[in-house]
Structures are given as structure tokens and as C-alpha cells.
Amino acid sequence: MKILKKCLMFASCAMFFMLPTISSANDHLPEEVKALKSAYDTFETLLDKYDHWVINQVNDQEERLKVLKFGVEPFTLAEGETKEVEIPADLMRVISAFDKFDVYGSGFNKTNLIEAVIPTKGNIGAVSSPWIADTHYQIRITTFTLDHVAELARGDEAYSGYKFILTGPVDVKGIELSSNNGASMTMDTTAWEVLGGDKEILDGIEVTVDATNRLSIEGITTFEGDKFRNHAGSASDHPDTQKTSVYYTSKNFYPGRQIYKFGPTLEIGYDASLPKLKEDPENPGYATYDVLKAHMQNGSNKIAFFDRAFGEDLEYTLCFDNWPSW
């Protein structure tokens, strides 16, 4: 009997520690932020449990989670046959970090749309993104709106009961959460913290202020507003860009810089109807310029628009980048 009691006590303690909890280190945060932060803190555990794909962010090499797979075994449904697939609670807890659900298989164009179940509402009907292919079905993350504080209040049932209902005929190979640019696995809470709270407090600092002394930066004593009001956009490009250029100019902003990318624009081509720039076989390293006439056929109209909208005295900078592959 004593052994049985000890086992029951151990099991109770284990279940307690398995419940979703929020670290006391986050006590300074608002409840809703604290609850969301606790969800982000589970990512390391999820990587140990589920198949995933991690990429590195280009600028700072942050590890980001591009794909997190459900671990659903492949299945086939006959015509009219249905199957409920419950989203694992630990994955449901972090869905807000991702862009969409991806369901892979075949037959999605030949069957009913996937339906969703929310524990507080029941079956909410068909769910999808605007794009569905026969082998790939996308569902918006915003299908489910989570209140993390309310979910944690559900205790053992937190984040459970969210489901997809699939109807045959369809073959399903897998379901996953995905993010086009990779989901960050850390939540920055510094907005709710004391600015500089992690820095050393310096004593004995004295500041002398002379209001009569006019400061300058390399001799400049006035604010050169035109240098800070240049928006990146071509003043003589696509009609929609022209509209924004006119709007910004009316607000004292200027279309002061633009980058012309030779490779993407001329060699690869944004416009499939225009001829592509190619290397001159008789003059390696140089292009055959015969295609430029087609690309610049509206040049006079663009120049006329530029002069009409911005004036002939506008200082404008055009940069060149992304040279052709040769």
C-alpha cells in the first residue's frame, strides 16, 4: 500500500510539471504577453519531437523555422469517407508564429473543401487559402484565433480539440506548419521592459549644457530636409508607381533614388513579352544591344511624365546593380 501511495504521489507531481506553465522570470509582463512568451519558449522541445526544416535569416543568421511537420501518418479516403485530424496541442500553441498550414497529397481539386473544428464553436465549415492545387492544399493560420490566457486556463485541455475534417476521395501524405521567411523561435519582450535595464549604472557623470553654442555636423547647422524625404521609387516606371510618386511629391517628398537591376530586368526579364538581353557571341563580356529598343520604346513618354510631375530641376539619383551573368 505504501508503495502504491508513493507511485500515485510521483504520478501526480509528474502531471503537474507537464501542465503549461509560465516562468516567474516573466512576471513583469502583461498576462497576454506572458502567455504568448511561454508558447515561444516551447520551440526547443518541439524541434526534438517533430521533423522540421530550419533556415538562417540572411542579415543576422538567426535560425528560423520554415517547416514544422505534424507527424501524421499518410492515409487514403474513399469517396464520401471522412476523417478527423486533430492538431497536436503543442503545435497549436505556436501556430501564430507561422503563415499557413500545408496539406500534401492528391485529389484536393476533386473533393470537398477541408473543414475545421474549434472546441468552443464546433465545426466552422470549409477553410482554405485562395490557392488550392490537386497535390497541395493551403489553410490560413488565421482560421484559428487563439486567446493564450484563456487556453492556459483550460488546464490539461489547453490548446486541444482543434481539428481538420477531410472528405474523400483524397490521398494525404502529410500536414505541416510553414512560414515563407521562416518563423522566429524567440519572442522579444524588451518593449515591456525598462529601457537600459540590463546595462551598468554609471555614477559621477556630469553633463555641461551651453544653450548659446550652436552645434553643427561637419559645418552643417540646418536640417537638410530633402535628404531625408526621398522615397525609393522610380518616377517614370509603372503607372501605379507614377501615381505614388505624384502623391508623395504633393507631400513634399521626392522620388530621389532608384536601383536599376540589369540582370533581373533585362537578362531574366520581369516582363515575359519583352526580348531578353544576351551576350554578344562575337564580343564576349558585352551584350547585344538590339533588345534595348523594345525595352525603351516608351522612354519619351516616361521622360515627359517625369518633367511634368517633378520639374526639370529635380536632382535624381539612379543606381545600377545586379549585372548580367556574363
Phi, psi dihedrals of residue 131, rounded to the nearest 5°: -115, 120
Query: What confidence tens digit (pLDDT) does each residue in 175-196 have?
Result: 999 999 899 999 999 888 877 7
CATH of 64-184, one of 3.40.1710, 3.30.1490, 1.10.150, 2.60.120: 2.60.120
The pLDDT assigned to 25 comes to 56
pLDDT higher than threshold 80 for residue 218: no
Give the C-alpha distances (Å, rounded to integers) separating 138 from 124, 178, 228: 17, 10, 42
Say if residue 250's pLDDT is above 80: no
Query: Does the pLDDT at position 257 exceed 60?
Result: no
Find, among 85, 45, 35, the residue nearest to 68 by Cα: 45
DSSP string, 29-60: S-HHHHHHHHHHTTHHHHHHHS-EEEEE-TTT
pTM of this prediction exceeds 0.75: no
Task: List the beta strands (DSSP E) in the chain.
Answer: 52-56, 63-69, 75-77, 82-86, 100-106, 115-118, 122-126, 136-140, 163-167, 170-184, 230-232, 254-261, 317-321
* One-letter amino acid for residue 23 of the chain: S
115-129 pLDDT, tens digit each = 999 999 999 999 988
**CA angle, residues 160, 97, 174, in degrees to nearest 5:** 65
Query: Look-up: residue for cell 469517396?
Result: 79
Q: Give domain limits for the chain.
A: 64-184, 228-321
Tell me which of 325 and 101 has the higher pLDDT: 101
**Per-residue confidence (pLDDT) for residue 168, from 0 to 100:** 95
For residue 308, pLDDT over 90 is answered with no
- pLDDT beyond 60 at 45: yes
Instruction: Identify which has the larger pLDDT, 146 or 249.
Output: 146
